[in-house]
Amino acid sequence: MARFKGLDTPREARRSIRPSYDPETFGRLSENFARFLGTARFLVYMTVFVLSWGLWNSLAPDKWRFDSFPFIFLTLILSLQASYAAPLILLAQNRQADRDRIQYQEDRARDDRNLADTEYLTRELASLRTAIGEIATRDFVRSELQDAVEEIVKNSGTKPKPDAN
């Protein structure tokens, strides 16, 4: 019974035969490698390497050649490099796709907030226009007062005084 502990007790770290690695560090390494493979510098380095290999194993004396024609060892090295490069490039692309997906979700949420803010401001502006339409302006009050004065003068029979304005 001592083997089973409560849920409030963390498990002890177990030793494993499998090596542990940080996936984030490995991912960054693969992205840097994939970026390097996509540069002109890599193509120049690889071209110089293959040409040097070919020239050395073609023109050097027989006893100094380490890869005889048809360059089987060079083919093996290039195949090995390609077999590691392809999965690393795919890993880098998957990480970029994940970042793009997260960025897309954040952009969409920001766009939704902007749309909601714009709709709110549009409603507020419409309500302000409606409220302003119901407020009596100075010119409207002045014309109403002038009409009232004219009506009073007409009914009383006296002459109105000229405006001070």
Tell me the pLDDT of the chain (165 aa) as tens digits: 556 677 777 777 777 788 777 888 888 888 898 889 888 999 999 999 999 998 998 888 888 888 877 789 999 999 999 998 899 889 889 999 999 999 999 999 999 999 999 999 999 999 988 888 777 778 888 998 999 999 898 888 766 666 655
**DSSP class of residue 66?**
S
Predicted pLDDT at 162? 64
Phi, psi dihedral angles at 90 (to 5 degrees): -65, -40
Residue 33 near residue 88 (C-beta atoms within 8 A): yes
The runs of H, that is alpha helices, within the chain are 23-37, 40-59, 72-134, 138-156
Predicted pLDDT at 161? 65
Residue type, 135: I
Residues whose CB falls within 8 Å of the CB of residue 30, separated by 6 or more in sequence, listed in order: 88, 89, 91, 92, 95
Predicted pLDDT at 34? 87
Other residues' Cβ atoms within 10 Å of the Cβ of residue 89: 17
Domain spans of the chain? 23-152
How far apart are the C-alpha atoms of 151 and 145, rounded to whole Å? 10
Query: How far is CA 136 from its chain centroid?
Result: 51
Provide the 3-class DSSP secondary structure of residue 165: coil
